[in-house]
Amino acid sequence: MSERRARPASKNPMKSVWRRAVTPSQPPKPPEPAPPAHSAASDTTEVASVVEAALYQDGVRVSSPATLAETYRELRDQPSGMAWIGLARPTESELLSLAAEFDLHPLAVEDAMEAHQRPKLERYGDTLFVVLRAARYLDAPEEVDFGELHVFVGPDFVITVRHGAAPDLSAVRRRMEETPELLKLGPEAVLYAILDAVVDGYEPVVVGVQTDIDEIETEVFRGDPEVSRRIYELSREMVEFQRATRPLVGMLHGLMAGFSKYGTDEELQRYLRDVADHVTHTSERVDGFRQALTEILTVNATLVTQQQNAEMRALAEAGFEQNEEIKKISSWAAILFAPTLVGTIYGMNFKHMPELGWPLGYPFAIGLMGVVCVSLYVIFKRRDWL
């Protein structure tokens, strides 16, 4: 790495710098043999996204530079040291500066700029480029929030580029600094700690999702009309969770396959195997969650269909009963209409109506009414209207 540190800093391609109005945290230092790109204005931009930078010697922090420029200078002065630089949503100029200083591959830098990458592990010479999808469970809205983390691991440096709130890398740094015997193993140990933190962060998500699924099962059999939407939203989150966890299995197996070739410390090998076991277990749980949600959605659709069928059957039965009542009412209306019609005709009192002077006219009218009513009753009865 001596050639890299001896490279003139003037080759840093920092031409399009996004400047923010941030007051420098310290007065400018005497000018160094560095290009204008590392001026006070550039350092002001760096302070905006450099979460924390530190230099370590034999597992112990020896310096905490405030800017990237200071980090470069101090790392050049300590050939056996290791730099750990943490960035949050860095600017393009900062990434280009890091790329020039640490010989980062342009494709990896481009991925770190654009974000929204799938989890992957790629090796460019002596540098590993790792993309991780961290996750955290939000209790209030009962949903899973995903973050993206890009990690560059070289012989004497670790650079983390965080897009999102998760994971909490400050806790990872504290843990490593509290165990210098692990931190002295170098950048690969830092990579292990980051992988372990990301994988451990999946456990609360798994617990939260399991609780949600239990609640959804209760809501499904309770007939909650809003449960279908909740199932769909949780299923989408499980698809994202699968995309975050499933590639990690292959990534860690790839790391383990290179243990012998790259001389990975035996203790570190055991730690990485443990992380691989946890990832495999988490991935299987996530696959099970997605399958369970698919089955729950099918059961919910079946229950909804059954409920709709029951409602349609109830409507049909109500319609049938209503028709029967209408038949009865219509039948009795027809029966009562017949004597009314006869009575109305004979109630006209026309002078020249033959039956008015007939002695049997009244019995005839009554008998006619009775015959018509009985006939209608028999007809309706045979047709099951009465």
Q: Which two tokens stand for residue 94?
A: 């900062």
Residue from 283, 291, 282 nearest 231 by CA: 291
Mean pLDDT taken over the chain = 81
Asked if the structure places residue 300 within a domain, the reply is no
Of 105-109, 131-135, 208-212, 342-346, least confident by mean pLDDT is: 342-346
Of 150-159, 162-171, 322-331, 344-353, least confident by mean pLDDT is: 344-353
Asked if the structure places residue 331 within a domain, the reply is yes
Asked if the structure places residue 373 within a domain, the reply is yes
Confidence at residue 37, expressed as pLDDT on a 0 to 100 scale: 37
* Alpha carbon distances (Å) from 129 to 106, 125, 161, 168: 11, 10, 11, 19
Q: What is the dihedral of CA 338, 344, 349, 355, to 10 degrees?
A: 0
pLDDT at 346 over 90: no
User: Rounded to 5 degrees, what are φ and ψ at 278?
Assistant: -65, -40
Confidence at residue 198, expressed as pLDDT on a 0 to 100 scale: 93
Burial (0-12, 13-18, 19+ Cβ within 10 Å), 26: exposed
Per DSSP, what are the bridge partners of residue 69? none
Residue from 162, 159, 91 nearest 133 by CA: 162
Asked if the structure places residue 215 within a domain, the reply is no
Question: Based on the structure, what is the number of domains in the chain?
Answer: 1
Mean pLDDT of 206-216: 92
Of 3-17, 176-190, 350-364, least confident by mean pLDDT is: 3-17
Asked if the structure places residue 291 within a domain, the reply is no
Asked if the structure places residue 138 within a domain, the reply is no
Asked if the structure places residue 220 within a domain, the reply is no
Of 107-116, 212-221, 253-262, 307-316, least confident by mean pLDDT is: 253-262
> Residue 353: which domain range?
323-382
Distance CA 201, CA 275 (A): 12
Asked if the structure places residue 374 within a domain, the reply is yes
